[in-house]
Amino acid sequence: MHRKILLWGIGFAIVAVLLGAFGAHALKSVLSPEKLQSYETGVRYQLIHALALIALSIYGQLNKTNDILNKRIGWSAHFFIVGAFLFSGSIYGLALFSVIHPSWAFVLGPVTPIGGLCFMLGWAIWARAVWLNKMDM
């Protein structure tokens, strides 16, 4: 399980760097400054949670004998992954589709806070896992 979490983190990091470069170079002349800033927020949160997934996998590897902890780490990772797709993905869509068809804001706008909630749940579950883990590190 920890290998999969690590691979998700590395994959999200690669995509965040790619999308960040795309935004800085290709979208600078296409998007308004507000939309570009929003797009960069999506990249930033994706990269932060990519690093969180990597750290989560390392923490899980250090404590791999505890099955209950592993289950909590899995839940936290799932919330980070879903949160990245919903939060960052909807922000990318809002920024990019604003150029093509502005009505997408009606569809994607409500998705962003659900992704943010997933991020918060992932962090809360991880915090609870650490709090309840009585093993020495």
Helix (H) / strand (E) element for 20: namely helix 2-25
The one-character DSSP state at 84 is I
What pLDDT sits at residue 135? 60
For the chain, give every domain's residue range. 2-132
Kindly tell me if the per-residue pLDDT of 15 is higher than 60.
Answer: yes
Q: Are 94 and 27 in contact (CB under 8 A)?
A: no
Place of tokens 């170079």: 25
Q: pTM of this prediction?
A: 0.91
What pLDDT sits at residue 104? 66
Half-sphere exposure of 133 (CA within 13 A, CB side): 23
Structure-token pair, residue 60:
């899980």
* pLDDT per position as a tens digit, 78-134: 999 999 999 999 999 988 887 777 676 777 778 999 999 999 999 999 999 999 887
Nearest Cα residue to 41 out of 127, 103, 100, 115:
115
Torsions phi, psi for 69 (to 5 deg): -60, -45
* pLDDT per position as a tens digit, 25-79: 888 888 889 989 999 999 999 999 999 999 999 998 888 777 888 899 999 999 9
What pLDDT sits at residue 136? 53
